[in-house]
Amino acid sequence: MLRLVSSIAAAALFAASAHAQTRAFDADIVVTDLGSGVFMLVGRGGNIGLSVGEDGAFMVDDQFAPLTPRIEAAVAEVAGSGDVRFILNTHYHGDHMGGNEEWADRGATIFAHENARQRLTEPQVSSLTGEEEPAADPALWPIITFQSGVNFYMNGENVRVMHVPNAHTDGDSIVYFEGAGVLHMGDVFWNGLFPYIDVNAGGTIDGYIRALDYALTLINEDARIIPGHGPLAERADVIAALDMLTETRALIAEHVRAGDSLEDTLAAQPLADYESFGGGFINTRRFIELVYTDLAARLVLSE
């Protein structure tokens, strides 16, 4: 998740009793059947993708550690067993890989892009608060890493895991269940919401735009898209996000090129047409700040 939310959550976690922790992370797991043995699980944190079948369960992201028993029960509900053989972390944020230790203890093999693992092994500086956060516990680190991509051939599915460079972070993967026509995009796609661009972790708005462009080449009109956050989506929702990001990039770049300060840019309310995207974790102000920071650093270098 968002580093901010994860750090707040982590602070709450360490401060609170085990009982309170569990309560804070208590959430019902809502399961949606997407056909061909593929499911979407919504609890608290990043949305989960799941493929089940004779070769075992393959899960995309695992939310927070205290939710593990509930997720396990949900997997058992659809698969007959709560065992998960493989887990892919779409990136390094705590709301997508917080359950890694619990699942590894249960026998899962956990994968991620090599930059996602690398970031877990070192302190990170939050792109929202500027505060340094310590390296993650080694028990949370994915044990298998890749550079460009991996494919899994299981449960009659071709599961394509593809790295998309410098979008939400520098270690993002998207996962396409070809047979089911389901694309899990991690936090490279927030449905109907401004996305969090983790600029301190290599995230860029240009990478977001490229990643969504690429996603559209994979999917057809019938595809279902699991966003990192927000409700299950279809192709038109990805196009809406791509349009919003492309327009945002142009609008903020104009201010950066004109030499406007961040305050002046915010005062100009450049994203007034996109207020509806500001209802999530990243409100309009935060989004402008992130895009401005990103573009100010890169446009100055490239122009």
Partner 1 sequence: MRKIIAALSAIGASVVLGAANETPLGEGDPMEVTDLGGRVLMVEGYGGNVAVGATGEGLVFSDAFLPESAPALIETAMATFDEAPRIVVSTHHHGDHTLGLAAFHEAGALSIGHTFMRHRIAERRFSDYRQDWVEPRAPELLPRMTYDSAFALHLGDQRIALVHYERAHTAGDTVVHFIDADVIATGDIFVNGVWPIIDHYAGGSVDGTLAALDEIIALAGPDTDIVPGHGPLASRADVIAYRAMLDEMRHAVLALQADGMSPEEIAEADPLAALAPDWRAWFTDSADVAAEMAREFARVAE
Among 245, 233, 255, 243, smallest CA distance to 282 is for 245
* Element holding 178 (H helix, E strand): none
**Residue with the two structure tokens 């067993």:** 81
Tell me which residues in 42-81 interact with partner 1 (CB under 8 A). 55
How far apart CA 200 and CA 294 sit, in angstroms, is 9
Q: Report the alpha-carbon distance of residue 6 to residue 251 in Å, rounded.
A: 30
Is 144 one of the binding residues for partner 1 (CB under 8 A)? yes
Smallest gap from residue 141 Cβ to partner 1 (A): 7
Q: Should residue 146 be labelled a site residue for partner 1 when binding is judged by CB under 8 A?
A: yes
For partner 1, the binding residue among 145, 166, 248, 265 (CB under 8 A) is 145
Rg of the chain over all Cα atoms, to the nearest angstrom: 19
Q: What is the closest distance, in whole angstroms, from the C-beta atom of residue 163 to partner 1 in the complex?
A: 9
| Nearest-approach distance from CB 86 to partner 1, in angstroms | 8
Q: Is 149 in the site for partner 1 (CB under 8 A)?
A: yes
173 binds partner 1 (CB under 8 A): no
Which residues, at least 6 apart from 20, have a Cβ–Cβ distance to it below 8 Å?
none
* Region near partner 1 per CB under 8 A, out of 7-15, 143-151, 267-275, 287-295: 143-151
Per CB under 8 A, does 147 bind partner 1? yes
Q: Please, what's the b/e burial string for 10-43 (b: 16 or more CB within 10 A of its CB; e: otherwise)?
A: beebeeeeeeebeeebebebebeebebbbbbbbb
Q: For residue 251, give both structure tokens.
A: 């609008």
The least distance separating partner 1 from the CB of residue 175, rounded to whole angstroms, comes to 13
Q: CB of 169 within 8 A of CB of 125? A: no
Q: Which is nearer to partner 1, 92 or 141 (CB)?
A: 141
Residue 29 sits at φ, ψ, to 5 deg, of -95, 115
Residue 240's DSSP bridge partners are none
Rounded to whole angstroms, the Cα distance separating 131 from 12 reads 16
Considering beta carbons, is residue 130 or 138 the nearer one to partner 1? Answer: 138
- Choose between 38 and 225: whose C-beta lies nearer to partner 1: 38
Under the criterion CB under 8 A, does residue 109 sit at the interface with partner 1?
A: yes
Determine the interface stretch with partner 1 among 13-21, 142-150, 197-205, 274-282 (rule: CB under 8 A). Answer: 142-150
Closer residue to partner 1, CB minimum distance, 37 or 142 = 142
Of 81-100, which residues contact partner 1 (CB under 8 A)?
86
Q: Residue 243 belongs to what H/E stretch?
A: helix 235-257
- Residue reference for tokens 């028993």: 69
Which position among 42, 154, 238, 288 is part of the footprint of partner 1 (CB under 8 A)? 154
For partner 1, the binding residue among 25, 39, 64, 141 (CB under 8 A) is: 141
Chain positions 239 to 278 lying near partner 1, rule: CB under 8 A, are none
Looking at 117, 168, 184, 255, which residue binds partner 1 (CB under 8 A)? 117
Residue 166 · residue 204 · CB < 8 Å: yes
Q: Among 8, 139, 143, 300, which residue interacts with partner 1 (rule: CB under 8 A)?
A: 143
Q: What is the smallest separation between the CB atom of 185 and partner 1, expressed in angstroms?
A: 19
User: Rounded to an integer, what distance in angstroms lies between the CA atom of residue 180 and that of residue 182?
Assistant: 5
Q: Rule CB under 8 A: which residues touch partner 1?
A: 55, 86, 109, 114, 117, 141-154
